[in-house]
Amino acid sequence: MRLPKFGGLTAKMTHSCVGPLSMLRCTFSPATALIACGIFVVSSVGAFAQQPGGEQKPPEQAQGEQKPEDKAANEQKAAEQAEQQEAAKAIAEYREAAAKLSSSAGAPECVWTGRRIASLLWRDDIDTARRYIDLYDRFNCSSEHLKLVFRCVIEQGPIDPKAADRLASRVHSCWVTPEGETTASSQATIGATTKTGTIPN
């Protein structure tokens, strides 16, 4: 059996690589094909990722949104500032009472217990108020001043039970100047009665 001769075919292939178009026809190789295929695949994947319907990873953190640990730190800082402001306010109130009242009513222990007694009596919590009155008397605080303070509080009319800040503010004002607050309240009541003929609530 005779094998076919490839001499003529080799000569034709060699001849086809000669001429002006030889670079276009003869530089193609398996390696070139693989490179071209890879570029096509990468381009296709990039184009798909840019499409609106393509799957994209959600951002790790929305713009302007705080991380949980940062939010907790800010809340703790705000709570500490509120506590500092409350402490500064209490100190200022004790100093005001000490400057305007005698030692039996302006002492911090008398201010602390006496204001609580007036608030408890206002809220009809008589049993708790009695326990504070025993403590108030033990501190040798003025019972006459406590009477004037409570009179001042009730003469200014009712307060919303939910408005604890308003009650505390009225009790402190009455504690510092019970007669002055009572006089102002009485004048306002008289003026309202003269105009309307009734006593306001």
The model's pLDDT over 149-188, given as tens digits with 9 standing for 90+, comes to: 999 999 999 988 788 889 999 999 999 999 876 554 444 4
Q: Is 123 a domain residue?
A: yes
Q: Is 45 a domain residue?
A: no
Average pLDDT over residues 27-41: 53
Residues 122, 117: Cα–Cα separation, whole Å = 9
Q: Is 64 a domain residue?
A: no
* 73 — pLDDT class (breaks 50, 70, 90): confident
Exposed/middle/buried for residue 21 (C-beta within 10 Å: 0-12, 13-18, 19+): exposed
Q: Which pLDDT belongs to residue 166?
A: 93
Nearest residue to 151 via CA among 171, 126, 128:
171
Q: Which two tokens stand for residue 83?
A: 């506590």
pLDDT at 26 over 50: no
Least confident of 58-62, 87-91, 97-101, 183-187: 183-187
Query: Is the CB of residue 200 less than 8 Å from the CB of residue 157?
Result: yes
Q: Is 5 a domain residue?
A: no
Q: Is 44 a domain residue?
A: no
C-alpha distance across the termini of the chain, in Å: 130
Q: Which domain holds residue 113?
A: 87-196
Query: Is the CB of residue 98 less than 8 Å from the CB of residue 106?
Result: yes
Residue type, 13: M
Residue whose token pair is 């504070």:
132
Q: Is 66 a domain residue?
A: no
Q: Is 9 a domain residue?
A: no
Question: How many domains are there within the chain?
Answer: 1
Q: Is 101 a domain residue?
A: yes
* Enclosing H/E stretch for 72: helix 68-100
pTM: predicted TM-score of the whole model, two decimal places: 0.55
Ramachandran angles phi, psi of 123, nearest 5°? -90, 10
* Enclosing H/E stretch for 47: helix 30-50
